[in-house]
Copies of this chain bind each other. A is one copy, B any other.
Amino acid sequence: RLYDYVTDPAEIYRRSFAQVRAEADLSGLPADARTVAVRMIHASGDLDLPRSLALHPRLVGAARGALEAGATIFTDAYMIASGVTRRRLPAANAVRCLLDDPRVPERARAWSTTRSAAAVSFWGEELEGAVVAIGNAPTALFHLLEQVAAGGPRPAAVLGIPVGFVGSAESKVALVENPWDLPYLVVHGRRGGSALCASALNALAQEAEIA
């Protein structure tokens, strides 16, 4: 080989996770959330992630239990759905994104909102007990909370990791402060995105670091 690098996949995983565990400060996290944080750090290359990570004390149990019981995963972006490792899912769970649903553009116009928020409104009764993973649009997260406030279906767990400069940080605060005791995971601030969100889902789907 022209370059000196590790090529064995198992060895790459082993060294990666060992380094994350050695260097990241996971002490502020619930014990059952540490494997989730490790995978998110691994996916982002960011050892400082735990400083922005906040989890409801029941998040890991609620999300994992729902997935084991066959819950659907709803996402606000196809990239997240694409990033879910299907073989890690405990019950061949459905992974659904409705952003390209043909009904979405008209509703977005009618409600003067984003397609991401309009898509949430079509998640329907299957949302009850589902696992929600929002990794793109703050408006989708705000709309989800408004639906719950209006008496709509309640998901079992909500990953709130939208990214960006307009509404992102605020939407995460709203999720953490939700008055319905919805279990949440957020990355506070502007950071977020599909890769972080998919890694959190994959960690919740199965505790094993490598699978």
Contacts and interface: CB of A to CB of B under 8 A. Distances in A.
B191 A194 contact: no
Nearest to A195: B193
Contacts of A111: 7
Interface in A157-205: 163-168, 170-171, 174, 189-196, 198
A156 interface: no
Contacts of A27: none
Interface residues of A, number: 54
A5 B169 CA distance: 11
Contacts of A113: 7-9
Contacts of A170: 3, 5
Contacts of A45: 163-165, 168, 189-193
Contacts of A167: 5-6, 12
A42 interface: yes
A15 B46 CA distance: 27
A83 interface: yes
Contact of A2 (B44, B146, B166): B146
A3 B145 contact: yes
Contacts of A146: 1-3
Contacts of A164: 16, 42, 45
Interface of A: 1-3, 5-9, 12, 15-16, 19-20, 42-46, 78-79, 81-83, 108, 111-115, 117, 138-139, 142, 145-146, 149, 163-168, 170-171, 174, 189-196, 198
Instruction: Please give me the 7 A-B residue pairs with the lowest Cβ-Cβ distance, nearest first.
Output: A45-B190, A82-B82, A193-B195, A7-B113, A45-B191, A79-B83, A16-B165
28 contacts: A2-B142, A2-B145, A2-B146, A3-B145, A3-B146, A3-B171, A3-B174, A5-B139, A6-B166, A6-B167, A7-B113, A7-B114, A9-B114, A12-B166, A15-B165, A16-B164, A16-B166, A19-B166, A20-B165, A45-B163, A45-B190, A45-B191, A79-B82, A81-B82, A82-B83, A83-B194, A163-B195, A193-B195
